[in-house]
Amino acid sequence: MERAPRTNTDGRGLLITWSFQFRRFKWRVLAFVVGLLMMVQAGVFLAVDRANVEAARRQINESLEVTANQFQRNLAERNLQLLQAARLLSSDYAFKQAYATRDHGTIVSALENHATRAGAQVMLLLDLDQWVLADTLHSETSGRRFGIPALIDSAEADPHGEATDVGILDDKTYQLVVVPLFTPAPSAWIVIGFRITDTFANSLKKSTRSEVSLVRLERETQWHVFASTLSATHREALVSMLLPEMVFGQSHELVLDDERFVSLATPILPERHRDLAAVLQRPLEKVLAPYQRLRVILLVIALAGLAISLGGGLAVANSVTRPVEKLADGARRIGEGDYAYRVVVDQRDEFGELAGAFNNMVQGLEERDRVRDLLGKVVSHEVADELLRRKIELGGEEREVTVLFSDVRDFTRLCETHSPSEILNYLNTYLTKVSGQIEKHGGIVDKYIGDAVMALFGAPLQHADDPARAVAAAVAMCKTMRLHNIELKQSGLPPMRIGVGINTARVVAGNVGSASRLNYTVVGDGVNVASRLEGLTKTYGVDIIVSESTRALATGFLFRELDRVCVKGKSQPVALFEPLGPAGAIDSETLARVERFEQAIRHFRARAWPQAEEVLLGLLAEAPEEQLYALYLEQTRRFQQEPPPAAWVGSAYPGS
Amino acid sequence: MNRTKRIGRLLVLVAMLLASPIYAASLQITVTNAEGQQVENAVVYATPRDPATKARMQQSTNTMIDQVDKEFIDHVTPVMVGTAVSFPNNDKIRHHVYSFSPAKTFEILLYKDKLPNPVVFDKPGVVVLGCNIHDWMSAYVFVADTPFFAVTRKSGAVVLKGLPAGAYDVEVWHPGLRVGSEKTRQTLTVTADEQRAVTFQIDPRHIWSVRRAPTPMGGGY
């Protein structure tokens, strides 16, 4: 379990809340397994414990009831012993003879003799009016009333004149029996008694293993123990707890001196239940002792189970989290681009399978990455992406694309004077620079054809201003080449002049080729036008020629119209334009010159040869290096000699 | 009722008839308890106040108390002072008859077939008889100092006949009235030929009996 501060950085500021949560799956599994086990074991433990205590109580109750029965039986047995002893004396002829003598000493000694035979502790002889004739406790005296008249009263009510009771003689408690002395008519009462002592209680305890206390109610309020197996302190505690009204036949739990006793009261004599009782007790702890042992065993089992489940849970959790951690680590590494990384999981379960699948996936990614790299070298990155993203298939779509062609002028002548490696190096430098500008402006290099570059703006990626981008790229390319020429000059190499043709047209874009070898490109008439425009740059002595469609779309640039020519396959003549630069960045001198040239073209197309010649001469005087002016002047002079046919479109192209 | 006893009775009756004067009074005496039920085994006897009458009437007779099926027959036997009572044994076992009563203490040691010498009851009073062999056997001999006595049976009424005119102490005794306890006494004077009914109400106690063997005594385990 982790007790972690959780930072919460929503708009209300930094809040730190403490909460218990399992941040790791391992701990969750462990908590679940251990928690479940603990719950089950706690349930079992409580149920067993409760059943045990209940069983212990039931056992105690049963044994107390047995003890009560045993107690009653013991009493009855003793009673019978007394009764038989008394009856024997009552019918003893010798005693009758002795009684007939009325000799006190003889009678007392006869009683003592008989008491000894019977094992009784007291014997008395009373006359029918309850006067003591002889008493073994007071052998010397006679002539007083018997102290327990209730005993004789109940005997008088009995058909055989017999009665039994528990009574006190000289502060000692006796179990007493009375029978009449028949001589042969009833003439006296023979009383015989066993003293009830702790010995009696102990003998009962010996056979029943219960604590036995015999109590009597004194002055109708306070119970007094007259025989017991309990210690003195326990006796005191017991009588302090007994209520004057004794409840029989129902067990109670009494605590004597911090010791718990299950207690059951039973009457000693049914007719004396108000003031005489036997309290039978069993210590709860002693009976619970085996259950306590069971409790300890249960606890040990529970702890062992807990430890095992903890270990097992940890092992299971680890077997899950370890490969997951490895996979997470692997995923992180792969995210960082380390495709060579492989996850190692030595498990044959689902995680092993997952790791295998993961590794396969990484291998796939690695291969795809390699393909992408390779593809990027062959085709542009954009095309490569497009190819990888889409399903590679033959066919394509019709879309508006601005096609740019660039070529090095007089490259063939260069090849003749330099070694192949020099040429390749020379060419690669140029292509790299040119390609850089194309890509920088959002175009893609479609292909290199020898020293020529074919680039696309608007396929496969489309921008709103693809024509302007193409024009800007062309302008930048020329500028780059001018700078490059300075470097070439310094290294003693011939300068390089490029021509660029740009045309915007609807073409078909897509993968062209066979199923095994494909090439993403565009095909259509518009592509040929761009190529033709590039070829015309040399004729007009300009770097860049764009078509009418491109000029119309490439807003933000200022153009100079060059000419209009009939292109092969086109019914309408195509207007040629040269970009001068961004609108607003052109100086007024240039602008004025462009205007004058346009005027010259208007004269030229209107067959006003002298006027055209005049303007062109003026322009040539200012810019003699402009091949364009020279071309127009040459054609003007030629058409003055031999005027063009009626179908002439106004082109200055030689041979048209 | 066996033959010997019937003969004995007859002899007593003949003797009484011979002794009685021609003109004599008779008392019909009824003994009841508190509930009005007639009491059995009550001895009623009339003692003349005049010693002369008593002396004139003095006579001694013989009677007997039988022992049948380990019981004395009868349970209460009134006799006049000086009567000799014989104790025949009609059982097949021996008996040992005894008495510790002050009126007559005696014992007849174990005997069976041979009729022992009769016992003469020469003092008035109650003599309780027992058998040393059989604890439950008990009987009473009421020794009266007068010839006018009778014992109630189930009917509870007896007639004392042949009383010469004069004053009498009429008394009742019952085993349930303790030995030596106060007697229930009526003094009355009868004239010749008078027939008078006398009623006694007594409250005899229950007499605790000894169990007869073999008894279903408890504790036979």
- Of the pLDDT bands very low, low, confident and very high (cuts 50, 70, 90), residue A298 is confident
Instruction: Inform me whether the pLDDT recorded for A4 exceeds 50.
Output: no
Give residue for tokens 């066993």: A194
Whether the CB of B215 is below 8 Å from some CB of chain A: the reply is no
**What percent of chain B is predicted at pLDDT more than 70?**
81
Among the residue ranges A220-229, A371-380, A535-544, B5-14, the one predicted with the least confidence is: B5-14
Burial of A645 (0-12, 13-18, 19+ CB in 10 A): exposed
Tell me the torsion sign for CA atoms B52, B57, B61, B64.
negative
Counting DSSP H helices and E strands in chain B, the numbers are 2, 17
Q: Which of B174, B178, B208 to mutate to test the interface with A (most CBs of A within 10 A)?
A: B208
Give the model confidence (pLDDT) of A399-430 as tens digits. Answer: 899 999 998 887 777 777 778 888 888 888 88
Give the whole-angstrom CA distance, residue A267 versus residue A116: 29
Give the type of residue at A483: L
Cβ atoms A66, A284 nearer than 8 A? no
End-to-end CA distance of chain B: 41
Cβ atoms A553, A504 nearer than 8 A? yes
Give the whole-angstrom CA distance, residue A164 versus residue A168: 13
Instruction: Inform me whether the pLDDT recorded for B16 exceeds 70.
Output: no
Q: Which residue of A has its CA nearest to B106?
A: A97
Which residues pair with residue B142 across a beta bridge? Answer: B78, B126
Whether the CB of A72 is below 8 Å from some CB of chain B: the reply is no
Tell me the torsion sign for CA atoms A423, A424, A429, A431.
positive
List chain B residues with CB under 8 Å of A161: 208
Residue A110 sits at the vertex; the CA angle it makes with A105 and A116, to the nearest 5 degrees, is 125
Angle between helix A420-440 and helix A466-490 axes, rounded to 10 deg: 150
Give the whole-angstrom CA distance, residue A540 versus residue A574: 15
Pairing of strands A15-21, A2-8: antiparallel
Residue of A493 and A280 predicted with greater confidence? A280
Instruction: Inform me whether the pLDDT recorded for A7 exceeds 60.
Output: no
Say what the pLDDT of residue B178 is: 64
Which residues pair with residue A261 across a beta bridge? Answer: A254, A283
Whether the CB of A100 is below 8 Å from some CB of chain B: the reply is yes
Most confident of A314-323, A359-368, B37-46, B50-59: B37-46
Say what the pLDDT of residue B61 is: 76
Show Cβ contacts of residue A69 under 8 Å, excluding neighbours closer than 6 positions: none
Whether the CB of A79 is below 8 Å from some CB of chain B: the reply is no
Comparing CB atoms, the residue among B100, B132, B208 nearest residue A186 is B208
Which residue intervals of A119-231 are DSSP H helices?
Answer: 149-156, 198-208
Nearest Cα to Cα of residue A271 among A372, A360, A163: A163
Say what the pLDDT of residue A175 is: 92
Burial of A464 (0-12, 13-18, 19+ CB in 10 A): exposed
Residue A259 CB coordination number (10 Å): 14
Residue B37 CB coordination number (10 Å): 10
Give the whole-angstrom CA distance, residue A421 versus residue B120: 185
- Of the pLDDT bands very low, low, confident and very high (cuts 50, 70, 90), residue B5 is low
Give the model confidence (pLDDT) of A24-51 as tens digits. Answer: 778 888 888 888 888 888 888 888 888 8
List chain A residues with CB under 8 Å of B142: none
Give the model confidence (pLDDT) of A585-617 as tens digits. Answer: 888 888 899 999 999 999 999 898 999 999 999
Chains A–B, number of C-beta pairs less than 8 Å apart? 52
Give the whole-angstrom CA distance, residue A210 versus residue A395: 107
- Of the pLDDT bands very low, low, confident and very high (cuts 50, 70, 90), residue A547 is very high
Cβ atoms A209, A63 nearer than 8 A? yes
List chain B residues with CB under 8 Å of A178: none
Instruction: Inform me whether the pLDDT recorded for A18 exceeds 50.
Output: no
Whether the CB of B212 is below 8 Å from some CB of chain A: the reply is no
Give residue for tokens 């003689």: A169
Among the residue ranges A150-159, A535-544, B174-183, the one predicted with the least confidence is: B174-183
Say what the pLDDT of residue B157 is: 83
Show Cβ contacts of residue A371 under 8 Å, excluding neighbours closer than 6 positions: A388
SS3 content of chain A, % helix, strand, coil (to 5): 50, 25, 25
Give the whole-angstrom CA distance, residue A437 versus residue A470: 10
Residue A50 CB coordination number (10 Å): 10
- Of the pLDDT bands very low, low, confident and very high (cuts 50, 70, 90), residue A190 is very high
List chain A residues with CB under 8 Å of B137: 184
State the average pLDDT over residues A308-315: 86
**What percent of chain A is predicted at pLDDT more than 90?**
23
Q: Which tokens go with A269? A: 């004599």
Nearest Cα to Cα of residue A300 among A10, A41, A548: A41
Say what the pLDDT of residue A406 is: 93
* Edge-to-edge strand ranges of the sheet holding B119-121: B62-64, B83-86, B119-121
Interchain pair A97, B100: CB under 8 A: yes
Interchain pair A99, B128: CB under 8 A: no
State the average pLDDT over residues A435-451: 88
Give the whole-angstrom CA distance, residue B61 versus residue B84: 7
Instruction: Inform me whether the pLDDT recorded for B219 exceeds 80.
Output: no
Residue A585 CB coordination number (10 Å): 9
Nearest Cα to Cα of residue A95 among A120, A123, A122: A123
- Helix, coil or strand: residue A405: strand
Cβ atoms A496, A488 nearer than 8 A? yes
- Helix, coil or strand: residue A55: helix
Give the type of residue at B23: Y
Counting DSSP H helices and E strands in chain A, the numbers are 17, 20
Q: Which of A75, A182, A187, A189 to mutate to test the interface with B (most CBs of B within 10 A)?
A: A182
- Tell me the DSSP string of A542-559: -SEEEEHHHHHH-TTEEE
Which residues pair with residue A542 across a beta bridge? Answer: none
Say what the pLDDT of residue A656 is: 56
Instruction: Inform me whether the pLDDT recorded for A8 exceeds 50.
Output: no
pTM: 0.56
- Helix, coil or strand: residue A362: helix
Interchain pair A96, B100: CB under 8 A: yes
Cβ atoms A239, A215 nearer than 8 A? yes
Give the whole-angstrom CA distance, residue A248 versus residue A268: 11
Angle between helix A588-605 and helix A609-622 axes, rounded to 10 deg: 150
Burial of A319 (0-12, 13-18, 19+ CB in 10 A): middle
Q: Which residues of A, range 339-358, sit inside 8 Å of B by Cβ?
A: none
Give the whole-angstrom CA distance, residue A383 versus residue A403: 15
Give the model confidence (pLDDT) of A263-288 as tens digits. Answer: 999 888 888 888 889 999 988 888 78
Instruction: Inform me whether the pLDDT recorded for B13 exceeds 60.
Output: no
Provide ipTM, 2 decimals. Answer: 0.77
- Helix, coil or strand: residue B90: coil
Instruction: Inform me whether the pLDDT recorded for A87 exceeds 70.
Output: yes
- Of the pLDDT bands very low, low, confident and very high (cuts 50, 70, 90), residue A501 is very high
State the average pLDDT over residues A573-578: 90
Give the model confidence (pLDDT) of A100-119 as tens digits. Answer: 888 888 899 999 999 998 89
Cβ atoms B45, B170 nearer than 8 A? yes
- Of the pLDDT bands very low, low, confident and very high (cuts 50, 70, 90), residue A13 is very low
State the average pLDDT over residues B29-47: 88
Q: Which tokens go with B119? A: 């016992």
- Tell me the DSSP string of B52-79: HHHHHH----EEE-EEETTEEESSEEEE
Instruction: Inform me whether the pLDDT recorded for A497 exceeds 60.
Output: yes
Work out the mean pLDDT of chain A and round it to a whole number: 85
Comparing CB atoms, the residue among A128, A160, A183 nearest residue B211 is A160
Q: Which residues of A, range 149-178, sit inside 8 Å of B by Cβ?
A: 156, 158-162
Angle between helix A350-378 and helix A381-389 axes, rounded to 10 deg: 140
B169 phi, psi to nearest 5 deg? -95, 115
Say what the pLDDT of residue A587 is: 87
Give the whole-angstrom CA distance, residue A635 versus residue A565: 14
Whether the CB of B129 is below 8 Å from some CB of chain A: the reply is yes
- Of the pLDDT bands very low, low, confident and very high (cuts 50, 70, 90), residue A81 is very high
Pairing of strands B62-64, B83-86: parallel
Give the model confidence (pLDDT) of B96-145 as tens digits. Answer: 999 988 889 999 988 888 888 999 999 999 999 999 888 888 899 999 98
- Of the pLDDT bands very low, low, confident and very high (cuts 50, 70, 90), residue A376 is low
State the average pLDDT over residues A636-644: 89
Work out the mean pLDDT of chain B and round it to a whole number: 82
Instruction: Inform me whether the pLDDT recorded for B21 exceeds 70.
Output: no
Say what the pLDDT of residue B182 is: 52
Residue A58 CB coordination number (10 Å): 10
Whether the CB of A73 is below 8 Å from some CB of chain B: the reply is no
Instruction: Inform me whether the pLDDT recorded for A635 exceeds 70.
Output: yes
| CA-based radius of gyration for chain A | 66
Instruction: Inform me whether the pLDDT recorded for A228 exceeds 90.
Output: yes
Which residues pair with residue A165 across a beta bridge? Answer: A176
End-to-end CA distance of chain A: 91
Length of chain B: 221
CA distances from A258 to A103, A253, A254, A278 (A): 58, 12, 9, 22
Give the whole-angstrom CA distance, residue A560 versus residue A344: 68
Give the whole-angstrom CA distance, residue A182 versus residue A161: 10
Residue of A519 and A395 predicted with greater confidence? A519
Burial of B185 (0-12, 13-18, 19+ CB in 10 A): exposed
**What percent of chain A is predicted at pLDDT more than 70?**
93
Instruction: Inform me whether the pLDDT recorded for A220 exceeds 90.
Output: no
